[in-house]
Amino acid sequence: MEKILERYERYSYAEKQLNSNDPEPNGSLSLEHAKLKARMEVLQKNQKHVMGEDLDSLKLKDLQNLEHQLDVALKHVRLRKVKF
């Protein structure tokens, strides 16, 4: 799901850049800002999913991927706990 969102971000911002009629002197900075802002939104959405919030919008495959990620993270935490 994250890869789909990243691909959407790349194409939507590339399209905006192509459709822009007035060239900005800081165009690359504003494009970078827009990309970072979109990336931040994706990360915040993923964080909500990991915390168990906003899960209604996820499909079964996305929920299974999230469950797998949480299982892997839990295993890492348990291994680290055993080391101490």
- pLDDT tens digits, one per residue of 7-25: 777 777 666 666 665 555 5
Cβ neighbors of 69 (< 8 A, separation 6 or more) are 50
**Structural tokens at position 69:** 């990620």
What band does 72 get if pLDDT is binned at 50, 70 and 90?
Answer: very high
pTM: 0.57
**Structural tokens at position 31:** 């494009």
H-state helical runs in the chain:
2-19, 27-50, 60-83
What band does 28 get if pLDDT is binned at 50, 70 and 90?
Answer: confident
Cα–Cα distance, 1 to 17 (Å, whole number): 24
